[in-house]
Chains A and B, each alone.
Chain A
Amino acid sequence: MQPITLALAKGRPAKSTIELLEKTGEHFIDLHEDSRKLVFYNKDKSIKVIFVKALDVPTYVEKGAADIGIVGKDNIMESQADVYELLDLKIGKCKFSVAGKPDHPIKNNQKLTIATKYPNVAKKHFLKKGQPIETVKLNGSVELAPIIGLSDYIVDIVETGSTLKENGLVVLEDIEKISTRLIVNKASFATKAAEVQQFINQLKLAME
């Protein structure tokens, strides 16, 4: 058997993913969400876990630096990586939405400015609607943009909506539902078929 590399997203989604991994019966030494370590192995070293920034998980998997990745649909959509998306792990559920000030319904036929951490997702959504937009790429506190007039609207992930509410914004339009997915490198799926398939089956069992 060849060893496989599994890329996980650092930060918020790590906890539920680690819980799921533990349920598969594979024990990873020292693996917990607060650890500063970035590389972990299971007992027989057949699985290597690496922790990377969430948006980089699809890139690691697409380029073959990792065979399998566990990451939110939001990051898969934004990175536009060419990978297999084999399982919906049904955790980390939230949605992509367009949000803005409550008295500000989305106008058509006028170029809009959208602030977002996900410019590709925003462009694709408005392209589908035939709406010209300009995106402003931000790396955090996106909710601030419409308040101080940096943009007309924002495109962001919405979990409970409380951050929006506290900043006086409302959801105007939903784009797509999001949850954590299992992605696989297309070459690994062919060249390490047995190992990859075994891991997926373990994970499927753990989800039940």
Chain B
Amino acid sequence: MQRYVMDNNKNTNVQDFQIRDDLISTLKNRFTTYGYKQVRTSTFESYDMYSNLIGTVNKDEMIKVIDTSGKVLVLRPDVTIPLNRMTTLNGLNTDNQRLFYVLDVFRQSPEQMDQKESTQAGVECFGDHSAETDSEIIMMAIHTLKDIGFRNFKLEIGHAGFFKELIQQTKLTEQELDALQSLIQSKNLAEMGPFLTQLDIEEDVRTAIQSIPMMYGNPEHVIEQAKSIIRNDSMEAILQNLIEINELLKAYGAENSVLFNLGLINNMNYYSGVIFQGFVDSIGKPVVMGGRYDNLGEQFDHSIPAIGFAFEVDLLIHAMQQQGLTNTQPLTADIIIRYPKEKQTDALRSAYFLRDHGYQVLTYSVEKTEEVNVEGKNIADFSVSHNTLYKQNMKETFSKPEELLSLLKKEEK
């Protein structure tokens, strides 16, 4: 017999689900307090839409399906793009639309064949492009990380435009640009120097690019450093935007949770403004990523300013388990009712009555079940002569469901 061990979704038992569900409610609660409303997008998306969008999801990573008419669909590889399209196409009142979602996304890669689905919990804010919105979104990510209980975490903030502006002053080929990006992303100064020397770039621009990876750390410090490589008005504006965001984050009292990293380059090419990613102890990948993407809508004929982020729920759970931040409640019922045949009616009525009052009740007929394997906080034994409630060291008799309820309530105090 063939054995099927495709338990890909690691967290499939009851306790794991509880941890996941608790985490998701923590996230949802926090998003709600910032005025966000939950939405969902379709599981199936058009393959053509994604393949026409430049610099988004790698085509090979998408999981394709073909419907009966022969149309190629993909399983939702991300949420930001469909949400953006939904908002732009609906022509909704896009002023300050605040949306959040908790949805599964599907991607495949040869390196991780057994991990095709993951859960993202994210927010998108449409219709406003002020530094106030930027910092509020970043603050919301920090706030959420605090809620989960991470003691040591940092949010790295950069700007997608800064590097793009510098690159526009050079004439690099696509391959050269790719190579340069990966050198910057790995802060590989040792190889960057020789690589830049062999390219045809103005001396000033070269020095500026060379200094980008190490513009990292304390925001004020990085801002000072960045001033020295400003080359035009748009770079000046970008820096001004970052200064404002930093001031606003200080107003929120979040200065200990943020770092600036101008060498931050997101592989999702649609970002146009501030970008950020959050790290927690001992997890090499960012648990949250986000940024501003004002021009994505252009590809749907109508662009609106937008900013958002997404938490990787599976990665968060992994981090929480590693740092002992998960507490599961024991899987016990509030009360177990045992009854003989003669008392069936009484027992089942009591069970209904207690459930109606929100108690978790399990019932067993003494004739059919020899031994009860489930632990309960309380046990109610029905018998022909009298009914008894056992709780810890206490033992009380009762006759009516109302009495049982009041006994249970009394003991809770």
Contact = CB atoms under 8 A, between A and B. Distances in A.
Interface in A178-198: 181, 185-191, 193
A88 interface: yes
B190 A61 contact: no
A186 to B, nearest CB: 6
Nearest to B281: A191
Nearest to B189: A86
Interface in B199-229: 216-217
Contacts, number: 58
A147 B120 CA distance: 52
Contact of B279 (A61, A62, A187): A187
B279 A191 contact: yes
Interface string B140-177: 00000000000011101000000000000000000000
A132 to B, nearest CB: 18
Given A186-B284, A191-B279, A85 B152 contact: no
Helix, strand, loop or mixed for chain A's interface? Answer: mixed
Contacts of B282: 64-65, 187-188
A28 interface: no
Interface in B246-292: 259, 279-286
Given A84-B187, A85-B188, A85-B190, A191 B285 contact: no
A52 B190 CA distance: 25
Interface in A42-85: 61-65, 82-85
A110 to B, nearest CB: 24
Contact of A191 (B189, B191, B280): B280
The residue in B185, B189, B190, B284 that gathers the most chain A C-beta atoms within 10 A of its C-beta is B284
Given A190-B156, A190-B259, A62 B186 contact: no
A64 B286 CA distance: 11
Given A85-B187, A186-B285, A187-B279, 4 more contacts: A86-B187, A187-B282, A187-B284, A193-B259
Interface of A: 2, 61-65, 82-88, 181, 185-191, 193
Interface of B: 152-154, 156, 185-191, 216-217, 259, 279-286
